[in-house]
Structure 1
Amino acid sequence: MASIPASDHDKRKQISIRGIAPVEDIASIKKTFNRHLHYTLVKDRNVATPRDYYFALANTVRDHLTSRWIRTQQHYYDKDPKRVYYLSLEFYMGRTLSNTMVNLGIQSSCDEALYQLGLDIEELEEIEEDAGLGNGGLGRLAACFMDSMASLGLAAYGYGIRYDYGIFEQKIKNGWQTEEPDDWLRYGNPWEKARPEYVLPVSFYGRVVKEGSKSHWVDTQVVFAMPYDTPVPGYGNNTVNTLRLWSAKAPTSFNLSFFNDGDYIEAVCDRNKAENITRVLYPNDNFFKGKELRLRQEYFLVAATLQDIIRRFKSSRFGSRDPVRTSFETFPDKVAIQLNDTHPSLAIPELMRILVDVEGLTWDKAWDITVRTCAYTNHTILPEALERWPVHLLETLLPRHLEIMYYINFLFLKEVEKKFPGDMSRLSRMSMVEEHGEKRVNMAYLSIVGSHAINGVAAIHSEILKKETFKDFYEMFPERFQNKTNGITPRRWLLLCNPSLSDVIAEKLGESWVTDLYLLKELKDQENNENFLRELIKVKQENKMKLADYIQQKYNIRVNIGSIFDIQVKRIHEYKRQLMNVLHMITLYNRIKKNPNASFVPRTIMIGGKAAPGYHMAKLIIKLINNVGKVVNSDPIVGDKLKIVFLENYRVSLAEKIIPAADLSEQISTAGTEASGTGNMKFMLNGALTIGTLDGANVEMSEEMGRENIFIFGMTVDEVNETTKKGYNPKEYYENNPELHQCLDQINSGYFSPDEPALFRDIYNSLVHHDRFMLLKDYESYIKSQDRVSDTFKNPLQWSRMCLHNIASSGKFSSDRSIAEYARDIWGTEPTEYKLPAPHEKPKLDDDEDEMYINNKLGVKPGNKPSNNKPAKK
């Protein structure tokens, strides 16, 4: 039994939930918890394990969701609002338990109930597996958006894949990354509900036959898509939306070629091939490598989802269950489909196939419906990340869809020719079928042509899309291009992960900022309040102590609490420039060694992130970080002035520990390469200062907080472009900067790899001879900016004042703001502050329509009033 002493009672985590009444009293939660332990898990307190207690708690919390979940779906059915469908191949949800308790307002009740049972809620929360069904920013953004759509009362559904194995578990062995499978479902998932009654067929392969003007896709191989639903609660509004994840299931029939040969075992085993579709998440981030399995995953998602969307559209009709909708005229008025990057872009030809081949609409009508329904979010401008599927693969796997894409392209190029007559070069550039080299279909071009709205995810990114990446398409469809700057949910990324800071803010502002982050700007009134600034310092120190304890236990590295906690956590990629950070580490190390007695502001530099398993350079960077750390951390001359920590297996639950403790956030990508970033926003909201380039959302962050409250360095996008045009020679910077020269020579000579002197030569050659992301040009500016960081840190009140301005300027970077903009500008729907009645509440009658709705639920005929009198017992 996991118990905690009474003296620790006051130290337990408290999450600020004032203003939300507890749903159940403590006695009820204890009773439900014990019932689940007994009846669901079939255990008693004598034999139960901490994991059993976690499952009992999870089921107890889920009980509070169930009535709200059902009532929300009933409400959507009856009101028939426009529904939003967010299609994403990644949903990086992290842990669910804490987030659900916070959004339902039952955290303190559960905490107290468990304490009375002799259990530690934090210990149980640590047992939950992260739902790591994403690589990084794109999947975590989808998770934040789901939270905001529920909190804003939008009738929204997330659709993705229920991978058996999520993003791999990273282990560091002898400084190298190794990958182990993330078997996140091995103990079961208490948050999901399987829906076998909604299993849907998905076809692959086959051929196309023509009957007059009609096309039929025949002789296909069928796989079944089984939905698993996860509830997504809004904050304090009793709305619970649905995340539906599809799992591949083999058909119930056997492969007769095996069966007829009498090989029953082989016939059964062959079924695994179908189910491999949803076996594992592709671990590449910002890399496109065409593989048939990936294409099958993408089509599997959209084929199952579109069948589900159309089923729901047909059966939804306000005020009546019958008759079903038979006309698609109102489809774009009732359905919005958002494509999260190009991964679900096959939704466009699939919707066309259904409307034309199955529902019998004309091509022109179907195309009008498709374009008005679909919208596309672009997440990257890196050429290697853009999806281009080989025609021969599409021809084999999806022959009818290839025909449809060819015809879409044919009609589109006719429109281009009409608008830009005689411009053959433009026709070639804009064709979604690329003819040079291997014949491929450009999925970004398909997404643009088939959508009514295309958006980037930060102002600078959206401008690059218009001026460079999709310039021709912007000139063709200027009205379609928009910007929607990313955001993060303040529930998980402040209220949940940093309760101490949440309480300090709540004491000044109350609770309304949790759903209106712009209210934080009122904190600027406290910039000269020394007591408040010291409160911020105290909160940060407490969070740093917790992280230091974690590092001590996990890595046996003792870090200096008084040092700058300098943190860079994100996927390992050359464009994110973790190598720049390494050059700074080595520079600081060399300075200490050169002059050990000089005054030095101590630092703890932490880097975390996973490298794609096939990305050699990224893995070598991890090895270099660990080797530099080994040298620095064991040098007695350096002592506690400098420590290097590589944070193994970075994930959402680890981010929740790291981000509240950060002093400095590293956002140092080459200008023009990071679409937005969302980690930068999380650090900002939690009172870390940013050192960064004018890239992605850093630009808007600096505008919001003022340049005096952020450490900006390096080239701008225009300067990067200018340098590229002139011709960039990295060797010239290497030869002209003595500190840089020394760092690179140490890397090249084996100073950090004495047993294998040539180990890091690839890194040296890459930087000195190629340097695609211009680290060496930005190095001097970066080091000077880091020196400014150290000088500023010497003045705690000045530093705290800058932290205050960061927190107070975070309002724009709430995903609530992002989603409200998507809703109004793209989806044609409106967020609502309407609060659904809680299961224990009597519904509030706002108008006659609501009264009719409620009477209908109670089975009361018009003109009669429901009676509260129970019939007398006979």
Structure 2
Amino acid sequence: MFSDPIEFKELFLKKLEMMYGKTFPESTSQDQFFTLGHLIREYISMNWIHTNEQYRFNKQKQVYYLSIEFLLGRLLRQNLTNLGIYEIVDKGLLDLGIDLAEMEEVEHDAGLGNGGLGRLAACFLDSLASLNLPGHGYGIRYKHGLFEQKIVNGFQMELPEQWLRHGHVWEVRKSDLTVEVPFWGKVESYTEKDVLRFRHVDAEIVAAVPYDMPVVGFETSTVNTLRLWSAEPAAYKAGKDMMKYKRDTEAITEFLYPDDTHEEGKILRLKQQYFLVSASIRSILDSYLYRNGDLKELHENISIHINDTHPVLAIPELMRVLLDEYSFEWEEAWEITTNTFAYTNHTTLSEALERWPIRIFQPLLPRIHMIVNEINERFCRELWKEYPGEWKRIEDMAIISHDEVKMAHLAIVGSFSVNGVAKIHTEILKQREMNLFYQYYPGKFNSKTNGITHRRWLLNSNPSLSNLISSSIGDEWIKDPSKLVKLKEYHHDTAFLKDLYDVKQGNKQKLAGLIYESNGIIVDPSSIFDIQVKRLHAYKRQLMNVLHILHLYNRCVEDPGFDFHPRTFIFGAKASPGYYYAKKIIKLIHSVADLVNDHPLVKGRIKVVFLENYRVSLAEEIIPAADLSEQISTASKEASGTGNMKFMMNGALTLGTLDGANIEILEQVGRDNIFIFGLTAEEVMKYQHHGGYYAMEYFHYDTRIKKVLNQLIDDTLPDAGDHFETIYDSLLTENDQFFVLRDFDSYVRVHEQAGKAYENKEHWSRMCLQNIANSGYFSSDRTIEQYAKDIWGIAQGSLMK
């Protein structure tokens, strides 16, 4: 469409006038952004059509990735970079007096996710397209993504997130591909050729309308598709309360993760999950039948991947379609189904594994309940043959027990592959959480360590570092991130190390400006930027971080001569609306900030900053500026983490526990280039299984701990009231479930170690260099190559190579 800035500029101005009926001087920034977006989408369209045609007519295996979350962030810069036209567009717009960086700010984050789960899915789609692999994403088009967080007097307030307020330039509505999804109703039986069959009748029908978004590969003609489903009313049926039906229908895709602390919320969540999988399975099968025509060979031609348990109802849904719509016998349908699905587990927390009460499940999804019940009956009979008389084992492995459907059990039984997302996570699944299943299905379990797309998280979000890398080792690393290892050649190059230090300082100055603009806090870019940004959860231990800050404050007050390198502690986190404990920690962070930031005895050596409404676009500003990356979850609780990889890739040093992918970061960089502390996973699990941990002992025998905990409930903290008694009780009365006090001394000492290391700029830069050079392993390209080869069995199409 355009090959230089002049040609682009002409097309842009013409497009703007056609779209809005106004001249360029009359246009708003919103007009200009949408004009550019439509122009780029048209630029993409021919390759998008070509890719879809190839997938339609080439007999190659394809993968469908089902996820309740896709945390995409902004897409303009990513699309321009991947198309190789960023500089052309930048220069063309500059001629018109438009700053492309400012235009990027007009785009709303597509916040269709809560954290690592959804961001991983987005990274995977990028890698699938960039590696020319036939992969499609399926998710939900939430009208409101994860809530917009506002901090009022230190408290989190939730506002509806409005990413669709002005429309979404990258999506295409496909009304002609609408699918009907049934809820409620009943199941009736009938006989067909002497075979008992079933059908779902008197159902409430919801229309699933697809919106397709292009997923552009980096410097390739491949453009894959992310299909997001929107719930809309189907044809009106007499006798219905039309207004209630309309409200109930639209609620399905109104909010990401509706509050499930009450029955209505639980029903809505389960509706969302079935809505996603029912529509997606129909879409997948329609596409497959158009290409191939023989459902008996389905598993040989496609793989369907379940990203955590939210889409696991795809397994009984495929069974339903094969049994009820195509008259397969059970055994053949089950053979096809179990060889089609693969499942990724994302948690080691048994309490986080989904369970659905039968009282909700059965009336809402009557036919699916019948099928799940039959799967369970047959599975338990298999177990009885293998383990006769072992009632407890069978009870523990059953898909339905104690009037609940256990979704992780259904996922394992109904799939051919079960993978964890880091080495230690997979081992914990095999040896602890899923041990009985591992004994029964040892061949199903495998490990695939998570990855991140280095193109977004280094190339796009940190251009100054990217330019330094490319000017030193060339730009092959952009296509092949393993080439970053060439940076090790500069280990003793003092000029390069100084440049690397200067790049970090430049990023820190930019973040300092953002902090002043958003929070009104002046921070010192020469201080250590110590950053913990992630979902707020007790096991991630933001609490330990803030208690340590309180301890440093006490040292400053007690000893005005206390010598340590100044620190800027930066937090970003959202707490789930119903997670009151996590909200108390947010309030605590703000109270400590109010105490510390302007205290005369602290003298600016400690600053505490909470950046509200943490999201992808904010992460892209924060991560390049980090010196220390806080990855301090209780060992054995974090499945993998991906933030740890983003920080490492941008030259931050990890300060963390031996948990999740931290262990593999340690393996890559060596003990001298990371700060490790705390209990190991084995030690944590030993305490959990055998007892022996008494938090009160640490309170009584460690004066530092006693002082900071008492400060939670005395009058030390501004505006404390009784807000922090819950936290105090959780640590002492409830015996500190996540071992904050047990790891506190080790945490203090490793911080002292990090502070001393930072004093030697050249040595610190050398450690940063080792982290960047070894970060290529954590690219999602590597992860996806392993999924493609080891699980899905897909390869590049002949026209894509």
Supply the distance in 2 between the matched residues of 1:192 and 1:564 (Cα, whole angstroms). 42
Supply the distance in 1 between the matched residues of 2:655 and 2:20 (Cα, whole angstroms). 49
Please tell me whether residue 791 in structure 1 is matched to residue 756 in structure 2: yes
Query: 1:597 offset after TM fit, Å?
Result: 2.8
User: What is the match of residue 316 of structure 2?
Assistant: 349
TM-score by length of 1: 0.89
User: What is the match of residue 58 of structure 2?
Assistant: 79
User: What is the match of residue 605 of structure 2?
Assistant: 641
| 2:478 partner letter | V
Query: 1:271 offset after TM fit, Å?
Result: 2.1
1:750 to 715, 720, 723: 715
SS of residue paired to 1:177: strand
SS of residue paired to 1:127: coil
SS of residue paired to 1:329: helix
1:272 to 236, 247, 250: 247
Supply the distance in 2 between the matched residues of 1:831 and 1:723 (Cα, whole angstroms). 48
Supply the distance in 2 between the matched residues of 1:596 and 1:710 (Cα, whole angstroms). 30
Query: 1:48 offset after TM fit, Å?
Result: 1.3
Please tell me whether residue 315 in structure 1 is matched to residue 290 in structure 2: yes
Please tell me whether residue 722 in structure 1 is matched to residue 704 in structure 2: no
SS of residue paired to 1:256: coil
1:660 to 613, 619, 624: 624
SS of residue paired to 1:645: strand
Mean Cα deviation higher: 412-421 or 767-776? 412-421
Supply the distance in 2 between the matched residues of 1:419 and 1:511 (Cα, whole angstroms). 56
TM-score by length of 2: 0.97
Mean Cα deviation higher: 757-766 or 677-686? 757-766
Please tell me whether residue 498 in structure 1 is matched to residue 473 in structure 2: no
| 2:239 partner letter | S
Please tell me whether residue 651 in structure 1 is matched to residue 604 in structure 2: no
1:248 to 225, 228, 231: 231
User: What is the match of residue 565 of structure 1?
Assistant: 529
Structure 1 gap segments, 5+ residues each: 1-21, 259-265, 318-324, 837-874
User: What is the match of residue 589 of structure 2?
Assistant: 625
Supply the distance in 2 between the matched residues of 1:307 and 1:102 (Cα, whole angstroms). 34
Please tell me whether residue 523 in structure 1 is matched to residue 487 in structure 2: yes
Deviations 1:79-135 (A, max 9, x none): 232111000010000001000001011111111001101111111101100000000
Query: 1:51 offset after TM fit, Å?
Result: 1.4
User: What is the match of residue 58 of structure 1?
Assistant: 37
Supply the distance in 2 between the matched residues of 1:26 and 1:329 (Cα, whole angstroms). 52
User: What is the match of residue 688 of structure 1?
Assistant: 652
Please tell me whether residue 120 in structure 1 is matched to residue 120 in structure 2: no
SS of residue paired to 2:639: coil
For the 8 Å contact 1:684–1:807, the answer to whether it is kept is yes
Supply the distance in 2 between the matched residues of 1:373 and 1:267 (Cα, whole angstroms). 39
Alignment of 1:435-514 (within 5 A): 435=402, 439-514=403-478
User: What is the match of residue 826 of structure 1?
Assistant: 791
Q: 1:795 to 1:287 in 2, by over 3 A?
A: farther
Q: 1:828 to 1:660 in 2, by over 3 A?
A: same
For the 8 Å contact 1:137–1:678, the answer to whether it is kept is yes
Question: Based on CA coordinates, which of the two structures has the bigger radius of gyration?
Answer: 1
Supply the distance in 1 between the matched residues of 2:370 and 2:315 (Cα, whole angstroms). 13
Q: 1:392 to 1:749 in 2, by over 3 A?
A: same
Query: 1:599 offset after TM fit, Å?
Result: 2.5
Alignment of 1:388-467 (within 5 A): 388-435=355-402, 439-467=403-431
For the 8 Å contact 1:691–1:711, the answer to whether it is kept is yes
SS of residue paired to 1:804: helix
Deviations 1:376-435 (A, max 9, x none): 100012122111011111110111111111111111111112222222221111111122
Deviations 1:570-622 (A, max 9, x none): 01110000000001111111111122233320000001110001111100000
Query: 1:289 offset after TM fit, Å?
Result: 11
Q: 1:716 to 1:375 in 2, by over 3 A?
A: same
| 1:417 partner letter | W
For the 8 Å contact 1:286–1:385, the answer to whether it is kept is no
CA root-mean-square deviation: 1.7
| 1:821 partner letter | Q
Supply the distance in 1 between the matched residues of 2:104 and 2:798 (Cα, whole angstroms). 31
Query: 1:283 offset after TM fit, Å?
Result: 6.1
1:29 to 8, 22, 39: 8
Query: 1:46 offset after TM fit, Å?
Result: 3.0
SS of residue paired to 1:695: coil
| 2:58 partner letter | K
Supply the distance in 2 between the matched residues of 1:707 and 1:756 (Cα, whole angstroms). 40
Query: 1:440 offset after TM fit, Å?
Result: 0.5
Query: 1:286 offset after TM fit, Å?
Result: 14
1:592 to 556, 573, 581: 556
SS of residue paired to 2:213: strand
Supply the distance in 2 between the matched residues of 1:809 and 1:243 (Cα, whole angstroms). 31
Supply the distance in 1 between the matched residues of 2:521 and 2:581 (Cα, whole angstroms). 27
Alignment of 1:700-739 (within 5 A): 700-724=664-688, 725-739=690-704
User: What is the match of residue 364 of structure 1?
Assistant: 331
SS of residue paired to 1:565: strand
Supply the distance in 1 between the matched residues of 2:176 and 2:588 (Cα, whole angstroms). 52
Query: 1:62 offset after TM fit, Å?
Result: 1.7
Mean Cα deviation higher: 526-535 or 52-61? 52-61
Deviations 1:711-762 (A, max 9, x none): 0000001111222313311010111111111111111213113x55422111
Mean Cα deviation higher: 31-40 or 807-816? 31-40
Supply the distance in 1 between the matched residues of 2:778 and 2:259 (Cα, whole angstroms). 27
User: What is the match of residue 39 of structure 1?
Assistant: 18
| 1:381 partner letter | T
Query: 1:652 offset after TM fit, Å?
Result: 0.1
| 1:220 partner letter | A
For the 8 Å contact 1:730–1:767, the answer to whether it is kept is yes
Supply the distance in 1 between the matched residues of 2:579 and 2:634 (Cα, whole angstroms). 19
For the 8 Å contact 1:513–1:519, the answer to whether it is kept is yes
| 1:70 partner letter | I
Supply the distance in 2 between the matched residues of 1:573 and 1:339 (Cα, whole angstroms). 24
Structure 2 gap segments, 5+ residues each: none
Query: 1:23 offset after TM fit, Å?
Result: 6.0
Identity %: 49
Supply the distance in 2 between the matched residues of 1:623 and 1:252 (Cα, whole angstroms). 48
Q: 1:674 to 1:371 in 2, by over 3 A?
A: same
Supply the distance in 1 between the matched residues of 2:721 and 2:145 (Cα, whole angstroms). 36
Query: 1:41 offset after TM fit, Å?
Result: 2.6
For the 8 Å contact 2:148–2:613, the answer to whether it is kept is yes
User: What is the match of residue 257 of structure 1?
Assistant: 239
For the 8 Å contact 1:135–1:283, the answer to whether it is kept is no
For the 8 Å contact 2:134–2:796, the answer to whether it is kept is no
For the 8 Å contact 1:153–1:834, the answer to whether it is kept is no
1:298 to 268, 273, 287: 273
For the 8 Å contact 1:286–1:380, the answer to whether it is kept is no
Q: 1:285 to 1:629 in 2, by over 3 A?
A: farther
For the 8 Å contact 1:823–1:831, the answer to whether it is kept is no
| 1:749 partner letter | D
| 1:564 partner letter | I
SS of residue paired to 1:769: coil
For the 8 Å contact 2:140–2:229, the answer to whether it is kept is yes
For the 8 Å contact 2:258–2:265, the answer to whether it is kept is no
User: What is the match of residue 852 of structure 1?
Assistant: none
Supply the distance in 2 between the matched residues of 1:281 and 1:530 (Cα, whole angstroms). 49
User: What is the match of residue 846 of structure 1?
Assistant: none
Q: 1:484 to 1:284 in 2, by over 3 A?
A: farther
Query: 1:277 offset after TM fit, Å?
Result: 0.9
For the 8 Å contact 1:283–1:613, the answer to whether it is kept is no
Q: 1:606 to 1:614 in 2, by over 3 A?
A: same
SS of residue paired to 1:46: helix
Q: 1:763 to 1:268 in 2, by over 3 A?
A: closer
Q: 1:287 to 1:145 in 2, by over 3 A?
A: farther
| 2:341 partner letter | C
User: What is the match of residue 153 of structure 1?
Assistant: 132
Consecutive aligned runs of 4 or more in structure 1 exceeding 4 Å deviation? 283-290, 831-836
Please tell me whether residue 231 in structure 1 is matched to residue 214 in structure 2: yes
Supply the distance in 1 between the matched residues of 2:546 and 2:298 (Cα, whole angstroms). 53
